[in-house]
């Protein structure tokens, strides 16, 4: 005797009376009906279910909301047939009887019966399997692949999942039998974010506030909704929007429950350790985590759609979604460990010639000696390339004593202040560098020549022509020919 079926698993979600319509995506879903399978894959909270429900509207379709208990094959097929029977009652009667046999027949026999029933009918059918990522039984994947390969053209299947299912997607893609919508497709545009926040969620945000939230959430629907729920009771929307991040309580709770805590301990550890990185690649992750399988882990994170985004077509560089990275960094509470991770990253990046990124990690580790040495090495390259904001940021992140102790840092600070029009800061930087050179007995040479050149430009800009000429002559006498 079989257990009764939960009818709630066969009911599609109710449509919200006020919602964001997405006609461009609806059109792609409609086009997909000409193919065997539509795959909608994105991380938690990207609106997969709402999108497909909105596309269907009032049209008939079978719906099955899967859960982990459906990893038992007989239960899975019993529910799938029940979902089909909401559209075509006679379908699958023989297959259901076969499921109750002892011993049960081979899966191909059961599925052949079901396929034949479907082929005998007329009219298009659409079946949605929601949360397919919860199915982990290889026997079900194999049987479903057989079913999709042989099902008649009248049936179109839509799979909603947080990760790519282990089905022969490449072959279906190559033969034009697969329509795909992914995270990048489901992200809300700025206009959609504004409609969602102000019309669906009932807020009255200004354009700039919507833009900030849309940028911070990267169009993640759940992130926008969590922000909106918090804003509904907030007295200062501007301050809230400016401070909104992945460490916000609602966002943190959601990402913890739906994403992080569902991962194995080794994966959680990898995510936390690599959260210090703005960009991830296998070698860098290996240096930071000590794991030799970092390339495989990154590939699996992308396959599982764990809020990781590829930055190139070769899948060599990735980054985490901003709010997910915020959460991970907030969970990496051990400051000593974070310092060590930043140092590992800095060493690898410096060895790879990625000096700017290495400097940022040395600064994050508060290893100011290493940071200062690299800034001195890379500072003039940044100057010549016009990257004054970056250079100014590095110098500002160093404690004042470092500029006072290292004349070349003072020289770089002087050039940066001069070229950005902060003339009072020029004099302070030059004065500190001159004092250090004098204390070291080094009043001549290249460093002194740079200080003279800075003073010459400053004098010229402030109208002191005589001082400009005097310092220019001193600079020419002390700088190498190429620099002068």
Question: Mind listing the pLDDT tens digit for each residue in 168-210?
Answer: 999 999 999 999 999 999 999 999 999 999 998 888 889 999 9
- The predicted pLDDT at position 440 comes to 63
- The predicted pLDDT at position 483 comes to 60
Beta strands in 196-344 (DSSP E): 308-310, 318-320
- H helices of 1-155, where? 23-32, 48-56, 73-85, 93-99, 107-119, 138-150
Q: Is the dihedral angle over the CA atoms 164, 167, 169, 172 positive or is it negative?
A: negative
CATH of domain 7-186: 3.40.50
- φ/ψ region of 366 (left if φ > 0, alpha if ψ in -120 to 50, else beta) reads left
The 10 Å Cβ neighbour count of residue 401 is 9
The separation between the first and the last C-alpha atoms of the chain, rounded to the nearest angstrom, is 94
User: Nearest to residue 459, comparing CAs of 426, 482, 413?
Assistant: 426
CA distance to 239, 375, 376, 395, 417, per residue, from 380 (Å): 38, 9, 8, 13, 14
SS3 track for 191-224:
HHHHHHHHHHCCCCCCHHHHHHHHHHHCCCHHHH
CA 144 to chain centre: 31
Q: Residue ranges of the domains in the chain?
A: 7-186, 190-244, 258-333, 352-443
Q: Burial of 316 by CB count in 10 Å (0-12 exposed, 13-18 middle, 19+ buried)?
A: middle
- The predicted pLDDT at position 1 comes to 46
The 10 Å Cβ neighbour count of residue 215 is 12
Chain position carrying tokens 């460093």? 447
Largest interatomic CA distance in the chain: 105
Predicted confidence pLDDT, tens digits, the chain (484 residues)? 466 888 989 998 888 888 899 999 999 999 999 999 999 999 888 999 999 999 999 889 999 999 988 999 999 999 999 999 999 888 999 999 998 887 878 899 999 999 999 999 999 999 999 999 999 999 999 999 999 999 999 999 999 999 999 999 999 999 999 999 999 999 999 999 999 999 988 888 899 999 999 998 889 998 888 888 778 767 788 888 887 776 677 777 877 888 888 889 999 999 999 999 999 999 999 999 999 999 999 999 988 878 888 888 888 999 998 888 888 888 886 888 999 999 999 999 999 999 989 999 999 999 999 999 999 888 888 888 888 888 888 988 998 877 777 888 888 888 888 888 888 888 777 777 777 777 666 555 777 777 777 777 777 777 777 767 776 676 676 777 656 5
User: Would you state the structure tokens that stand for residue 350, as one six-digit string?
Assistant: 């410096």
Hey, which residues does 181 pair with through a beta bridge?
40
User: Nearest to residue 223, comparing CAs of 250, 241, 242?
Assistant: 250
DSSP 325: H
CA atoms within 13 A on the CB side of 68: 1
What CATH fold (topology level) applies to the domain 258-333? Arc Repressor Mutant, subunit A (1.10.10)
Q: What is the pTM (predicted TM-score) of this model?
A: 0.72
Residues 217 and 324: beta-carbon distance below 8 Å: no
Residues 256 and 294: beta-carbon distance below 8 Å: no
Residues 288 and 281: beta-carbon distance below 8 Å: no
pLDDT digits (tens, 9 = 90+) for 13-42: 888 888 899 999 999 999 999 999 999 999
> What gap in Å lies between CA 172 and CA 156, rounded to an integer?
13
- H helices of 196-334, where? 207-217, 221-231, 237-243, 249-258, 265-274, 282-289, 294-303, 322-331
């Amino acid at each position: 005797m079989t257990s009764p079926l939960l009818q709630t698993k066969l009911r599609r979600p109710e449509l919200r009376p006020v919602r964001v319509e997405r006609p461009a995506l609806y059109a792609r879903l409609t086009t997909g009906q000409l193919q065997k399978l539509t795959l909608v894959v994105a991380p938690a909270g990207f609106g997969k279910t709402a999108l497909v429900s909105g596309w269907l509207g009032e049209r008939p379709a079978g719906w099955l909301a899967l859960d982990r208990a459906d990893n038992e094959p007989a239960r899975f097929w019993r529910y799938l047939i029940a979902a089909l029977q909401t559209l075509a009652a006679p379908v699958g009667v023989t297959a259901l009887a076969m499921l109750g046999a002892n011993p049960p027949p081979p899966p191909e026999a059961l599925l052949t019966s079901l396929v034949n029933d479907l082929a005998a009918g007329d009219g298009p059918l659409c079946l949605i399997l929601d949360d397919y990522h919860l199915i982990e039984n290889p026997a079900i994947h194999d049987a479903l692949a057989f079913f999709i390969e042989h099902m008649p053209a009248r049936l179109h299947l839509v799979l909603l999942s947080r990760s790519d299912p282990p089905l022969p997607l490449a072959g279906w893609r190559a033969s034009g039998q697969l329509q795909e919508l992914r995270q990048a497709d489901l992200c809300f545009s700025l206009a959609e974010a504004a409609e969602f926040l102000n019309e669906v969620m009932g807020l009255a945000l200004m354009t700039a506030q919507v833009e900030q939230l849309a940028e911070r959430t990267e169009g993640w629907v759940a992130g926008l909704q969590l922000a909106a729920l918090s804003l509904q009771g907030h007295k200062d929307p501007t301050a809230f929007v400016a401070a909104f991040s992945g460490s916000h309580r609602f966002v943190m709770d959601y990402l913890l429950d739906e994403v992080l805590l569902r991962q194995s301990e080794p994966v959680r550890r990898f995510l936390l350790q690599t959260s210090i990185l703005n960009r991830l690649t296998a070698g860098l992750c290996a240096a930071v985590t000590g794991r030799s399988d970092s390339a495989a882990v990154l590939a699996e994170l992308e396959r599982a759609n764990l809020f990781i985004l590829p930055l190139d077509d070769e899948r060599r560089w990735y980054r985490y979604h901003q709010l997910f990275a915020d959460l991970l960094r907030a969970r990496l509470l051990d400051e000593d460990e974070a310092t060590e991770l930043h140092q590992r990253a800095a060493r690898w990046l410096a060895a790879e010639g990625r000096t700017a990124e290495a400097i940022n990690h040395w600064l994050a580790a508060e290893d100011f000696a290493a940071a200062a040495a690299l800034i001195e090495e890379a500072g003039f390259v940044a100057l010549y390339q016009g990257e004054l904001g970056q250079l100014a940021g590095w110098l500002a992140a160093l404690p004042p004593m470092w500029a006072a102790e290292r004349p070349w840092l003072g020289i770089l600070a002087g050039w940066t202040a001069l070229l950005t029009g902060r003339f009072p800061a020029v004099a302070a930087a030059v004065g500190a560098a001159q004092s250090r050179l004098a204390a070291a007995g080094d009043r001549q040479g290249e460093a002194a020549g740079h200080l003279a050149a800075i003073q010459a430009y400053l004098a010229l800009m402030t109208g002191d022509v005589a001082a400009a000429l005097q310092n220019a002559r001193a600079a020419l006498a002390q700088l190498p020919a190429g620099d002068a």
